[in-house]
Structure 1
Amino acid sequence: MVSRSDTPQDTVALVPAAGRGERLGPGAPKSLRHLGGEPLVVHAVRRLAAARSVAAVVVAAPPGAADLVHDLLAPVITTAELLVVEGGGTRQASVAAALAAAPGHCDVVLVHDAARALAPPELADAVAAAVRAGHPAVVPVLPVVDTVRQLGPDGVVSSTVDRELLRLVQTPQGFARAVLAEAHAACDDSLTDDAGLVERLGLPVHTVPGHPNALKVTRPFDLVVASAVLASESAMAGSRV
């Protein structure tokens, strides 16, 4: 079994958590919505910090909530450095703010959505390892299981897309630090995916297998599914005791 001490502590995880989450309905910012009695950001950061390679976690909090988020997270971070900064008006701005605050000794950067609160630590380690192996950018992916059809302007099916060539992209996404910094510096608009910024530089984006538990909470029904996943994890952990 590989221990934390056997893994390079060269990775910082950035968590953009400033979004409103309007598709979840009225209420607190998305990262502060509760899942199983705890905010999504607490679940997400706890799991990131448990990854063997993660030395630090930087959270971009909702405007005006940096102190609150720090107080929520400080008790659950025991093996990694925690920094909390105020996020920006876009995801890109929040990632840039978190990257600027990241410790200088971390050459591998993970960017992870707080909304993917149940992504396991092993997924973060797999992405970081692929970056460490020399890939400038790495994304975890899942195969597409549904049939996908392309429509014409009139709403009529124009073709059936080969789903074997399609993948669903998750986070955490991983980057060589210098590559991510260059990608953000070169961007003049806002994208929802940091790997897309790296693609614009003409650099390849490598893939690793994703994980079904790294589902994204976007709508109320997603919270129901995530609650079921969390309950299942708890039941399995209890059965091993």
Structure 2
Amino acid sequence: MPKAFVDLQGRPLLRWALDQALACEQIGHVVVVAPGEWLGAARDIVGEALGASDRGSETGLAVRADVVVGGAERRASVAAGLAALGPDDGLVLVHDAARALAPPSLFARVVEALRRGHGAVIPGLAVVDTVKSVDDTGAVTATFDRTTLRAIQTPQGFVREILVHAHEENPDVTVTDDAGLVELTGAPIHVVDGEPWAAKITTPEDLDAAERRFRSAQVTS
């Protein structure tokens, strides 16, 4: 099962991610990129999320949502999402459903930085562990100054033309995030504060940690 459809607290990660995104009033168009065999499930989840949100037309904050087929790799899926954008979608946020609990305030923080004039914006958390590089024999080759390091999250925001250009200029490069492609073009990238709730849910242990975080938050509140 794709990670986006795994349940957390009784609802799929994709639904959690959509609920958080839709709660950010600056977002007017959501494109969900899903595997072909999961398109129906994705459309159902999108419909449920829209129905549960307060983004109806009577509020003046209506949001458009589309579901498209992704690719075999991340960059192909992002390209499919870019192709589904409307002509007026000038700012683009690329988000990972595995970071399903990234709060609306994080989406807004990225958008606000873009509107202040930054062409590429990524959220990041300070690194608290000592980080070393190690070669294939297990020997340490370098120790990094952690005060200069950030653990990068999503949503990552871009002026649309900058992201499209980065994809077109580097068709065969494999990267772990879209900011990596933009870096290759030489465009500056601005980092804003990330959020602990935006931790990536990749393994069963990550899912357990998210469940524990929920229980802790419920007890605290």
Q: Could you tell me the TM-score, scaled by structure 1's length?
A: 0.83
Instruction: Tell me the CA shift for residue 234 of structure 1.
Output: 4.5
Aligned to 1:218: 202
Aligned to 1:114: 97
Looking at structure 1, the residues matched to 137 and 74 of structure 2 have their Cα atoms a distance apart, in angstroms, of: 33
Q: Which runs of 5+ in 2 are unaligned?
A: 56-62
Which SS does the other structure have where 2:157 is aligned?
Answer: strand
Aligned to 1:70: 43
Instruction: Tell me the CA shift for residue 220 of structure 1.
Output: 0.8
Paired AA for residue 121 in structure 1 = P
Aligned to 2:213: 229
Paired AA for residue 116 in structure 1 = R
* Matching residue within 129, 147, 170 for 1:146: 129
Residue correspondences, number: 210
Aligned to 2:66: 83
Aligned to 1:177: 160
Instruction: Tell me the CA shift for residue 168 of structure 1.
Output: 0.3
* Matching residue within 32, 38, 41 for 2:14: 41
RMSD of aligned residue pairs (Cα, Å): 1.5
Q: Which runs of 5+ in 1 are unaligned?
A: 1-27
1:49–1:56 Cα contact (<8 Å) kept:
no
Instruction: Tell me the CA shift for residue 216 of structure 1.
Output: 0.2
Which SS does the other structure have where 2:209 is aligned?
Answer: helix
Looking at structure 1, the residues matched to 2 and 136 of structure 2 have their Cα atoms a distance apart, in angstroms, of: 36
Q: Deviations over 1:109-138 (max 9, x none)?
A: 000000000000000000011111111111
Percent identity between matched residues is: 46
The 5 A counterparts of 1:83-102 are 83-102=66-85
Looking at structure 2, the residues matched to 98 and 159 of structure 1 have their Cα atoms a distance apart, in angstroms, of: 38
Moved more, 89-98 or 149-158: 149-158
1:171–1:214 Cα contact (<8 Å) kept:
yes
Aligned to 2:58: none
